[in-house]
Amino acid sequence: MPRFFIESVVPPSAITLTLDGDDTHHICQVLRLKVGDEIDVSDDHHTLHRCRIERLPDRGERLFVRILDRRPSDGEPPYRITLYQGLPKGDKMSTIIRMAVELGVTRVVPVIARRSVAKPDEKKMANRLQRWRRVAEAAAKQCGRGRIPDIQDFRTVREAIDELTDQVDGLIFVPYEGEDSVSLKALLQGEDLPRHIAFFIGPEGGFAGSEIADLQAAGWRTVTLGPRILRTETAAANVLSMLSYHFELA
């Protein structure tokens, strides 16, 4: 079932919804849906609305659809997940974001670390963020999420540490190849269901020792993901899969 998102909350009394120009174009010109076809629309409270196309719009008009049914979306995990992803080379970030969205991430924060090879200027940063947000939206539609995960502006490691440490209310950790005593599995076994989970993934080459020391000093726990060294584009998906298995599927 095609899925679309709106940024407002639909009141229970509503009987119709309006979709914006981009979604109208996609429905009418790309999917070529017809009168009587149904779509799903998720609002800002993650309520999923099954809707029917009553009339195709004229050129330039927005599409109005009739609400047939509404229910809570079942595509969201029972906690919020923030991924602080060390900026990788090339367009690996698009792959990381797509997989992270499919695996339940709530927020992705690109982090420029000391060993990040890619350090784009302000214009390139803006262009990349636009592209990554489109990737996140497409992935959310494809996998049946109740929301489009938030792709935030770039941070330095220090900015990211300060941002979350000031408002931490859950589980925070960083996979680190130098950690050999505490595994992520062992860390999760001692945890009740948290409200918020946040974790760092380093760029190619990992985090510098001073960055790990700063994270540890701020309360971030280092964990090992096992005996093999994972690529940066694999590590986040590995962590998110383990979180889903432990908290959602157990």
20 in helix, strand or coil? coil
- Domain shared by 20 and 132, yes or no: no
- Domain shared by 103 and 221, yes or no: yes
Rg (CA), the chain: 20
- The b/e string for 176-215 (b: 16+ C-beta within 10 A; e otherwise) is beebeeebbeebbeeeeebebbbbbbbbbebbeeebbebb
- Domain shared by 113 and 215, yes or no: yes
**110 backbone dihedrals φ, ψ, rounded to 5°:** -70, 130
Q: What is the pLDDT of residue 122?
A: 75
Final residue of a structural domain among 52, 72, 92? 72
Which one, of 103, 49, 99, lies nearest residue 73 by Cα? Answer: 49
Q: In whole angstroms, give the CA distance from residue 220 to residue 18.
A: 44
Cα distances (Å, whole numbers) of residue 42 to 28, 159, 175, 204 = 19, 32, 34, 36
- Domain shared by 132 and 188, yes or no: yes
CATH number of the domain that 174 lies in?
A: 3.40.1280.10
Which pair of tokens denotes residue 206? 């990992």
Q: What is the pLDDT of residue 107?
A: 96
- Domain shared by 43 and 161, yes or no: no
Strand extents, DSSP E, the chain = 3-5, 16-19, 38-42, 47-53, 63-72, 80-86, 107-112, 150-151, 155-156, 171-175, 196-201, 221-223
pLDDT tens, residue order, the chain (250 aa): 899 998 888 998 899 998 888 888 889 889 999 999 999 999 988 899 999 998 888 876 888 899 999 999 888 999 999 999 999 988 899 999 999 999 999 999 999 998 887 777 778 889 999 999 999 999 999 999 999 999 999 999 999 998 876 556 789 999 999 998 999 999 999 788 888 999 999 999 889 999 999 999 999 999 999 999 999 999 999 999 999 999 988 6
Q: What is the pLDDT of residue 125?
A: 86
What global pTM score does this model have? 0.89
- Domain shared by 236 and 118, yes or no: yes
